[in-house]
Amino acid sequence: MSNIAGSTGATTAGTAPRAPLSNDVAGQIVTVMQRTLGGLDTTLNKLNEQSRVFNEGVRPQMDKTSQIEDLQKRLNEHSKAQRRLVRAAKKTIREDFKNTVSDRLRDDISAQIRREVEIQVKDQVELQIGDHIPVPLELQAIDNNRQIAEIKAALANSEARAKNSHLQGRNLDEPLAPVLKPDGNKSQVFPADLRSLFCYDLDMSNVLMKDFGLEEEDSLSANYGRFMRHIGSFQ
């Protein structure tokens, strides 16, 4: 190549014209040009290949990106529309709910006021008649029922004692008329007759005495006598 450079050097001022190229030098120049053209051809081939790859691979992706961007844009518009609808729906619901709640609250408050007035009126009435009727009517009714029950029990016991008074211990097998307990109920240990009573031991007689609220004794005969007087069969 140094020979080529020397042979092809630029003509300077004051120098003689170049001599014609020899066949060897011309051949070398042709070879260099062919190699350069071959390099350009390779470069063009690579450029074409890259263009093909671009057209086949990159451009579709760019198209897809464009499609995605278009879809994203449409989705955003749809989301905005949805948000507008939701806001409108919420506004409607709030207004309807407010009106509904207002109506319901109005009814509830009215009902509550009525209940409160009734309670206050009832309290005032009870306070005003308290001096005349110191016991509430409900308690009076309960007390009256209890008094009626006590009167009925006392009447039944009076009749039972009258029947038992005819026995006077003469007939041990004559049925005893049941005398009720202080609470008005029948005793589960009331003897059927005097013979049954006399079969009670001290413990059983104490149970009987306790059932009727009578004082218990350590003596069996004392329990017998007290119970017989209580039921009217022994004076």
pLDDT in tens, 140-149: 667 677 777 7
Overall pTM > 0.95 = no
pLDDT at 97: 55
Q: Is 177 exposed, middle or buried (0-12, 13-18, 19+ CB in 10 A)?
A: buried
pLDDT at 11: 47
Taking residue 66's Cβ as centre, other Cβ atoms within 10 Å add up to 10
Separation between Cα atoms, residue 218 and residue 204, nearest integer Å: 12
pLDDT at 196: 92
Handedness of CA 137, 138, 139, 144 (dihedral sign): positive
pLDDT at 84: 73
Q: List, for the chain, all residue ranges whose pLDDT scores fall below the cut of 70.
A: 1-30, 32-41, 43-44, 46-76, 78-79, 81-83, 85-86, 88-118, 120-141, 143, 168-170, 235
**Closest by CA position to 175, among listed 194, 162, 188:** 194
pLDDT at 101: 54
pLDDT at 3: 47
223 Cβ contact partners less than 8 Å away, ≥ 6 residues apart? 200, 202, 205, 206, 208, 209, 216, 217
Separation between Cα atoms, residue 233 and residue 198, nearest integer Å: 13
